[in-house]
Amino acid sequence: MAVMRMSGEAHALVRHTHQERVLRALRERGALSRGEIAEAVGLSRTTVSEITRDLLRHGAVVVVDTDAASRAGSGRPAERLALDPDSGQFMGVDFGHRRVRVAVADASHEVLVSGRQTYPESAGWPERIATAFELIDRLGAERGVHFRALQGIGIGVTGPHPRSSAPHAPEGAFGPGFAAARDDVDVSFAERFGASVIVDNNTRFAALAEALAGDGDVENLLYVRLSDGVGGALVIGEQLVSGATGLAGELGHVTVAPGGRRCRCGKRGCLETVASVPAMLAECRERGADVGSLEELASATDPVVEQVLREAASALGRVLGAVAMVFNPAEVVIGGDIARTAPVIVEQASETLGAELFPWVAANPVVRCARLADDDGATGALAALFRSSPLLADHPEPAPVRALPA
């Protein structure tokens, strides 16, 4: 009997590892056919079929549809499998400077509800959190969705987000009570929903979403976002780079104008003091151009405005070029509404960046506008949850494995 027991345990352990890989692929990528699973996890079709048969039998995985709509060939449509949608829900929350966005997805990556609600920029954390809770209640009521099985909550916040042991920015520098954000926000959400919470910089979440949003995943991506501030993030090998103390990615605070304007971070002449939307608006007004909003900035035909945008994009291109020389990304993505609405930004940044790289390199990184909108922080938080969540590893244990005949 000892031998039988060893056999079952050891064999189950090996199969469990294979199952974990299949479940991880479905968790990270959503619905997949058996063939796509086999390719993703590097197991044979036969082994994948055996594993998915077990998972289907235990209800951890369900058939959601077939690939008939998307397939190019003429063969029989393949079933697509996904984690059981009812096995858990995931919530992504993105606290911007003036609005919160919420998206809730099931385990198959289907977004069940999403929405946004504004608050004044002066709102403190209690008000922002209350606004988010009201939004969540309203979304649930409108769609008849109950957030009864939240498996994890990812929350994006503005500004640098160092690890707990590291010092934080001065109170108020990057938002209301930023130093208190982590404690207040994660405790409030954890208590309200009884789920585990991860909190990080929303630009990092957006970068991860961007790396995963294309046709193929981008392994090495440099991301920058121009909005009320200038944030950034690095993705290497499909993982966010957090750095030694959690402060990686702060492209907005690289110096571009030594001795220049004072930045809210405490330094002078940071990229953010030149290329954030408020900085560009202020510079236009200083030069006599009458623009008061991002929309006016993007649509203005005044050559002064174009010059300001070009100078800002040029400073951005120099920073991106320096970072690209060291980090050698495949793609450089510029996010933020202004990058989408004023094409001169990506055009000029790309040109300046190109001049900063080796002239003999044929293939410089692709410089492009972000695919996702500024609200992508919530989606990115969901992507981070799907990639990091160990929660679904708790699916029902497989039944004892019987030895196959020789």
> What is the binding site for a copy of itself (CB under 8 A)?
1-7, 10-11, 13-14, 160, 162, 166-170, 173, 219-220, 232, 234, 236, 241-251, 253-255, 265-267, 318-319, 321-323, 325-330, 355-356, 358-363, 365, 403-406
**To the nearest 10°, the Cα dihedral for 294, 298, 301, 302?**
50
For residue 141, the minimal CB distance to a copy of itself (Å) is 42
For residue 232, the minimal CB distance to a copy of itself (Å) is 7
Select 72 or 406, whichever has its Cβ closest to a copy of itself: 406
For residue 394, how many other CB atoms are within 10 A of its CB?
A: 10
Give SS3 for 29: helix
Task: In whole angstroms, give the CA distance from residue 347 to residue 299.
Answer: 16
Report how far apart the first and last C-alpha atoms of the chain are (Å, whole number): 19
For residue 26, the minimal CB distance to a copy of itself (Å) is 24
Structure tokens that stand for 214 in this block: 């294309």
Task: In whole angstroms, give the CA distance from residue 236 to residue 383.
Answer: 15
For residue 34, the minimal CB distance to a copy of itself (Å) is 24
Select 245 or 293, whichever has its Cβ closest to a copy of itself: 245
Closest to 401 (Cα-Cα) out of 9, 3, 1: 9
Backbone phi and psi for residue 268, each to the nearest 5 degrees, phi listed first = -120, 145
Select 350 or 379, whichever has its Cβ closest to a copy of itself: 350
Give SS3 for 276: coil
For residue 365, the minimal CB distance to a copy of itself (Å) is 7
Select 171 or 295, whichever has its Cβ closest to a copy of itself: 171
Select 251 or 294, whichever has its Cβ closest to a copy of itself: 251
Select 11 or 340, whichever has its Cβ closest to a copy of itself: 11
Residue-by-residue DSSP string for 101-162: EEEEEETTS-EEEEEEEE--TT--HHHHHHHHHHHHHHHHHHHT-----EEEEEEEESS---
DSSP 274: H
Residues in the chain, total? 406
Select 138 or 368, whichever has its Cβ closest to a copy of itself: 368
Select 24 or 264, whichever has its Cβ closest to a copy of itself: 264
For residue 390, the minimal CB distance to a copy of itself (Å) is 16
Contact call for residues 314 and 298 (beta carbons, < 8 A): no
Give SS3 for 243: coil
Closest to 401 (Cα-Cα) out of 6, 11, 1: 11
DSSP 300: -
**For helices 376-388 and 2-29, what crossing angle results, to 10°?**
170
Closest to 35 (Cα-Cα) out of 81, 100, 3: 81
Select 123 or 323, whichever has its Cβ closest to a copy of itself: 323
For residue 191, the minimal CB distance to a copy of itself (Å) is 30
